[in-house]
Structure 1
Amino acid sequence: MHRLPRLAFGIVQYRVGAGPSPEAAETGKILRVDIATAGDRWPDFTRSALAAGMASYLSAPLVVDAAHTGSLNLYGHHTHGYRDVEGALLELFVTAVEAALRSTAHYLAARHEAAQLNTALVSRTVIDQAKGIIMGARGISADEAFQRLVAQSQRENIKLRVCAERLVSAVLQAHP
């Protein structure tokens, strides 16, 4: 019997949109599957799983958030390879994995937000410096200086921060 690479048969169900993995992810329920009896339900998946030498399948939904869902899957070489107890253990494991993934997602989001806030603080500082330079050079108000800086940024089609950095850098170079 020709055997598919172990992971290739699992991909078939995503390509055709039918199999225990997509169904577990969609329904939120653990699926225990005897592959020999799943042919009517998922013919493409069943053919590829049997060709890969698989006889049983256990799939648990894995939900991090609304945008990140999937399933965690176990494959067995024996018919009836998974009992209720393995389903319960997999559910406990998936709960821990989901918690870890959510924590990681929250950490990465917080880290990204902190980086954005830091960039905003740095940008604000250089923009305020550029405004001060314009105010001193032109004898105008802070609002007028800011409007001139915005206009220059738009004329050059560059970010306001970049425009401010260039002005501050030019003044520093002219007056070391």
Structure 2
Amino acid sequence: MASESTAKPETSITEHLNELVLTSSDVGEFLHELARISARSLSEPGDEVLCGVTLLRHRKAATVASSSPEAQAMDEIQYDFGDGPCMTASREQVTIHITDLEKHDRWKSYAETVLGQGVRSILALPFVLEGETRAALNLYSHRPGRFEGRVLELAQDFVSQTSMALRLAVRFAHFSDAAANLKATLETRTVIDVAVGVIMAQNRCSQEEAFELLKAASSTRNIKLHSVATSIVDSLGQGPAKTHYQG
């Protein structure tokens, strides 16, 4: 472990992760920065650690973030084989620690391929998330026995703290999506309501009758209701209808 990371108290890591949640534009950006932080904090001069984040959804694995193209490639090798330490860590929610691939007899074909890339040790740690989504932090080193002792403990503590931050990031993403959907719905309703009002004024009819006329026009023209409403509102020459909703 680099001296920079060992010198940092856990509170500073937690604060940094929480700040990262708030400043990241989306979960993808959060994960990419997380991968870079993980690799940087665990690397030492002349002894780089590669980091990737595996996401497992609907039994399909994908690397959603990595510290470098080489880290991405290491993850994708095991996807080609259909199994490996990182996929197992994600799927079974267990830590997989391979101290030396040359002496490892599980996933032999995968191990031989990764060894050919110079990787000797692997540490895959699962994130504790909510729902059915599974994910893991994947660490690779060109040195055998790289993730033992204090380094292993620090990596486990880091993933534990990161899991909480990642859950927050996912929740914020859900709230953001919900707000965007609500705003879109309200804007759609605003256009339709204004169009109905225009039809009521032009045809001296009730709101229900105006809405039926709008639906009939949509059906006759084979155009979405919102599009017909928009054309009616735009024909007034006042531009698109605005909603007062503020997300």
The TM-score with structure 1 as length reference comes to 0.82
**Structure 1 residues 111 and 42: CA distance shift in structure 2, 3 A:** same
Match of 1:74 in 2: 139
Give the RMSD, CA atoms, in angstroms. 2.3
| Identity between Structure 1 and Structure 2 (%) | 33
Which of 149, 152, 157 aligns to 2:222? It is: 157
Instruction: Give distance in 2, aligned partners of 1:62 and 1:167.
Output: 51
Unaligned runs of 5+ residues in structure 2 are 1-68, 239-247
Aligned: 1:49 with 2:114: yes
Instruction: Give distance in 2, aligned partners of 1:122 and 1:11.
Output: 42
Greater C-alpha radius of gyration = 1
Which of 10, 25, 35 aligns to 2:90? It is: 25
Query: Once the 2 structures are TM-superposed, how far is the Cα of residue 145 of structure 1 from its aligned partner?
Result: 0.8
Match of 2:41 in 1: none
Q: Secondary structure at the match of 1:171?
A: coil
The TM-score with structure 2 as length reference comes to 0.60
Instruction: Give distance in 2, aligned partners of 1:124 and 1:10.
Output: 46
Instruction: Report how many aligned residue pairs link the two structures.
Output: 168
- 51-60 or 108-117, which moves further after superposition? 108-117
Query: Once the 2 structures are TM-superposed, how far is the Cα of residue 59 of structure 1 from its aligned partner?
Result: 0.9
Contact 1:9 / 1:48 at 8 angstroms: preserved in 2? Answer: no
1:131-160 CA-partner distances (Å, limit 9, x unpaired) = 122122222211111111112122223332
Instruction: Give distance in 2, aligned partners of 1:37 and 1:113.
Output: 50
Equivalent residue letter for 1:105: V
Instruction: Give distance in 1, aligned partners of 2:138 and 2:90.
Output: 11
1:92-133 CA-partner distances (Å, limit 9, x unpaired) = 211232222222222222222222222222222221221122
Unaligned runs of 5+ residues in structure 1 are none
Instruction: Give distance in 2, aligned partners of 1:21 and 1:37.
Output: 18
Q: Secondary structure at the match of 2:235?
A: helix
Which of 35, 60, 71 aligns to 2:101? It is: 35
Instruction: Give distance in 1, aligned partners of 2:192 and 2:137.
Output: 49
Match of 1:58 in 2: 123
Query: Once the 2 structures are TM-superposed, how far is the Cα of residue 6 of structure 1 from its aligned partner?
Result: 4.1
1:146-175 CA-partner distances (Å, limit 9, x unpaired) = 1111121222233322211211222347xx
Which of 174, 184, 209 aligns to 1:144? It is: 209
Query: Once the 2 structures are TM-superposed, how far is the Cα of residue 15 of structure 1 from its aligned partner?
Result: 1.0
Contact 1:10 / 1:49 at 8 angstroms: preserved in 2? Answer: no
